[in-house]
Amino acid sequence: MADRENPGELGEYLKACRARVRPEQLGVTPYGDRRRVPGLRREELALLAGVSPSYYARLEQGQSRNASPQVLDAIAAALRLAPTERQHLHALAESAGRRRITRPAPVEHADPALLELLGAMREVPVLVLGRRGDVLAWNPMCHALLAGHLDRDSASVPGRRPNMTELVFLDPHTRALYADWDSKARAVVGNLRLAAGAHPDDPALAALIGKLILASREFTTMWADHRVQSCATAAYELHHPIVGTLTVTQQTLRSVERPDQTLITCTAPRESASAAALELLAHVAHQPVRDGAEVSEPEGAEVAELPA
């Protein structure tokens, strides 16, 4: 059982959500002149959620690990959590209520259906990400757009695969690529929070988070904020070293067969300056990459991925 000094992920998340809400936003009349904590008091949130203050306090302190879905929904409604935040709350509560069994995570391989789709989209930057943000596969266009300074074949070798969160925080080329780096950084941290809540027993995921905390003060600050964000559709302005400034719309599609994997595309409106930049990049992306000689690959298989 957790003690008052160790509320666990569920308790920390509840405290962070509570701190972000102002009483006036929820129609609560603040009482007392001095508030020791930002946002709602525990008693105020308990009243809004229809639970006893003592029960809510135990839940936030990690002393109660069996909150019902109905109670969690009531708390989520009181905090006005978005659907993604509500989903994360339930995942953390489920994790808190079960015994942890840590097992080595199997090596991830891209869903063959996603690979087939990726191979068919030659003129669109596309990549497949695993649950931890590892690049499981990318086509030449995506490699040239996001990480042309890296070995294109690195995605095909477990242990050498680029990790998108690591690139955003630890790679100077990637930092320089995004005009609004802070927005991109918060998006990847929010998405990593969701993954950590869904896979609390994944040692490789925990190791990644620990590495980033030690290596980046900015990551540590954003991680401590406990915000979650599901990457769906977002526009990013890029300062590309070859084709200049362009804006791409990043869209994320999730595999039904393997929901931990996502296929991400980067597109631009037709006949726009950004679309022209992508066309120019296509010529660069499909140039020979080894000793000045064209690399022979099967048709539709320009994908850095090993067979499962």
Give the pLDDT confidence of 206-237 residue by residue, as tens digits: 999 999 999 999 999 999 999 998 878 999 99
pLDDT at 37: 67
Domains and CATH numbers, the chain: 8-96 (1.10.260.40), 112-285 (3.30.450.180)
Tokens representing residue 136 in the block: 């499981």
Q: What's the helix, strand, coil split of the chain in %, to 5?
A: 45, 10, 40
- Summarised one tens digit per residue, pLDDT across range 16-72 is 999 998 877 777 766 655 666 678 889 989 999 999 999 999 999 988 778 899 999
Question: Measured between alpha carbons, how far is 206 from 53 in angstroms, rounded to an integer?
Answer: 33
135 membership: H or E segment, kind and range: strand 135-138
Residue 194 has a pLDDT of 94
- Residue-level pLDDT at 97: 66
What does pTM read for this prediction? 0.84
Q: Identify the pLDDT of residue 17.
A: 94
